[in-house]
Structure 1
Amino acid sequence: MIQSRISLRLDAPEARRIYIMLEALFEDDGYAMSHFEVESDAPGPNQWSIDIYVPKDAIDEVLARLTDRLGSDALGLQFNQEDVEDQDWVALSLEGLKPVSAGRFFVHGAHDTARRPAGAVSIEIEAGQAFGTGHHGTTAGCLEALEDLLRRRSFQNMFDLGTGTGLLAIALAKACHQPVLASDIDAVSVKIASENALLNRVANWLQIIEADGMHHPAIRDNAPFDLIVANILAGPLMQMAGEIGGQLAAGGSLVLSGILDEQADRVVAAYIARRLRLQRRASREGWTTLTFHAAL
């Protein structure tokens, strides 16, 4: 079956914002989408490409919806269109991704199993429909923050909010050999995270639930946590500052990401207002990861 690929190029901050907007727009249609950096030898920052794969006979309707949804954002944007043979575009794109190393953590696909370093905490994540393969600056930034924390202390009761593929929860279970509660608002993500837990042989350590934010009996029953990781978006992180901070144990650690560099100061302010102390702040590829500490 012939499909059409619609592509548009943008700078990094705008690309992320518009990608999230278009994900929501086409959520019920099931169209495959990708969002990746395009390397260039030209001076200045690299641009990002957003690609949407749609049936050829739906191209006019999709372009009209795109233009209507983007509104003034569509001004100056050029939509490139080409016909392509139907394939599993998510799987094909991830097959070309290189493994990611962050401290002791090594994230890879099945095609790179033989490249696992001796002694590394190896996490296998395959192509899927959920966010989080380790290659995005937010996920890699969280792994680096966790490595920094695990060099200095241990954890016994951990929670991964917005788990996506389950990568961060799997990393914690493998590194700590302790129970991890993980949640996601999306049922598909919960299914994929559960499959990845089995693939990585940590299903017995993980409890993965479908939950909207912090509202679930399992979260309430397992709190307070000595470590919470939340790799979502700056807006929800600020809105849930009180709820997240309220479920963190005295002396606990909190790792937040999904935050554009220019949003970081506002997120920091929201959590400092909850009497948490900023312990670490790091930027990777335009995204900030924050680590907070709760006083004893």
Structure 2
Amino acid sequence: MCFVYECRVVGGIAGEPHHPCYRGMRVEGAYAYFFFLEEVDGYFEDWVARNGGLVFTGRYRFHPARWQRFASGCRVGSFTVITVSRAEDVPVPDGSTVFLRRGIAFGSGVHPTTRAMVTAMEELLTREKPDVAVDCGTGSGILSIIAAKMGVPRIIAVDLSRVALREARENAVINGVNDNICFVLGRDLSALKPERIDLLMMNLEWPALLGVVRGKIWSRCRTALVSGYPLSMSSVFRQLIMRAPYKRLQSFGVEGWEALLLEKSRDKPPEDNRGLKK
């Protein structure tokens, strides 16, 4: 059983709880969710009072598998996603199957944004293979894993949640691609060291996506693949990025959601992504 404590974020999140039953944190929009294996009401209320940037709004109790919907055997592009409870349940990894342990990090393969992202990835990666890709907000690691299975040699997976990184790393191991993926704890691209990024993948919730595209670092990447908003918001998003130096835009829609593939002019050499730091 899992106990989830919900807080509204009114300032910054000053670290995470230090408790033997603490499982991890997940941020969704203006709310943060803290997962514990046991009920810790008194401890958590004291921790929130000391934090200052959070307002406690509720507590939930349920099995971890109920946090998000999983559909074992679902198709995501040309891949089949199989959910497992234990690493021991995974057969020998292959190139067309993605194995995911049931967890709390976003990215089960069910959501239309994930499927739209993979469709766009397949269109791009069948004609060219980037040397370095970044998966900003990796969640379960599903996009990084698929990119590795499609031949991308080096992927940097970034997430602000320690529990997401832990689950993503476990998923990379059971899929046999852990040597291709480096996991970095951070809120956005500012967590990375200076280097050229050929492909940036971002499937983020709208507030987090706005935070990234309003900055300058993301547009230094040669190619960007972005999702996290419904098709009805496509024109709004395109207005936000109209100053970015991308010349070729290609839209991929799935069930009312969009993934947008943005590419720079082919006759211009890729930029060195200066401004990224570690």
Alpha carbon RMSD of aligned pairs, Å? 3.6
| Structure 1 position 232 matched with structure 2 position 232 | no
Aligned to 1:132: 107
Offset, 1:139:
0.9
Q: Gaps spanning 5+ residues in structure 2: where? A: 4-26, 42-54, 269-278
Partner of 2:80: helix, strand, or coil? Answer: strand
Structure-1 separation of matches of 2:187 and 2:97: 30
Structure-1 separation of matches of 2:142 and 2:168: 8
Aligned to 1:103: 77
Aligned to 1:14: none
Structural mapping, 1:245-284, within 5 Å: 245-246=219-220, 248=221, 252-284=222-254
Answer yes or no: is the 8 Å Cα contact 1:104–1:120 preserved in 2. Answer: no
Structure-2 separation of matches of 1:273 and 1:158: 23
Structure 2-normalised TM-score?
Answer: 0.68
Structure-1 separation of matches of 2:198 and 2:167: 26
Larger Cα Rg: Structure 1 or Structure 2?
1
In the superposition, relative to structure 1, how do residues 153 and 138 fare at CA in structure 2: closer, same or farther (>3 Å)? same
| Structure 1 position 182 matched with structure 2 position 157 | yes
Structure-2 separation of matches of 1:243 and 1:99: 37
Answer yes or no: is the 8 Å Cα contact 1:190–1:208 preserved in 2. Answer: yes
Structure-2 separation of matches of 1:224 and 1:140: 27
Structure-1 separation of matches of 2:95 and 2:174: 17
In the superposition, relative to structure 1, how do residues 162 and 201 fare at CA in structure 2: closer, same or farther (>3 Å)? same
Offset, 1:92:
9.5
Answer yes or no: is the 8 Å Cα contact 1:100–1:134 preserved in 2. Answer: yes
Structure-1 separation of matches of 2:237 and 2:253: 14
Aligned to 1:215: 190
Structure 1-normalised TM-score?
Answer: 0.65
| Structure 1 position 286 matched with structure 2 position 239 | no
In the superposition, relative to structure 1, how do residues 232 and 22 fare at CA in structure 2: closer, same or farther (>3 Å)? closer
Q: Which has the higher helix share?
A: 1
Structure-2 separation of matches of 1:170 and 1:284: 21
Aligned to 1:38: none
Partner of 1:272: helix, strand, or coil? Answer: coil
Aligned counterpart in structure 2 of residue 244 of structure 1, from 177, 194, 218: 218
In the superposition, relative to structure 1, how do residues 120 and 173 fare at CA in structure 2: closer, same or farther (>3 Å)? closer
Q: Gaps spanning 5+ residues in structure 1: where? A: 4-18, 33-54, 58-67, 71-85
Answer yes or no: is the 8 Å Cα contact 1:166–1:194 preserved in 2. Answer: yes
Partner of 1:220: helix, strand, or coil? Answer: coil
Larger relative contact order (CA 8 Å, sep ≥ 6): 2
Aligned identity (percent) is 22
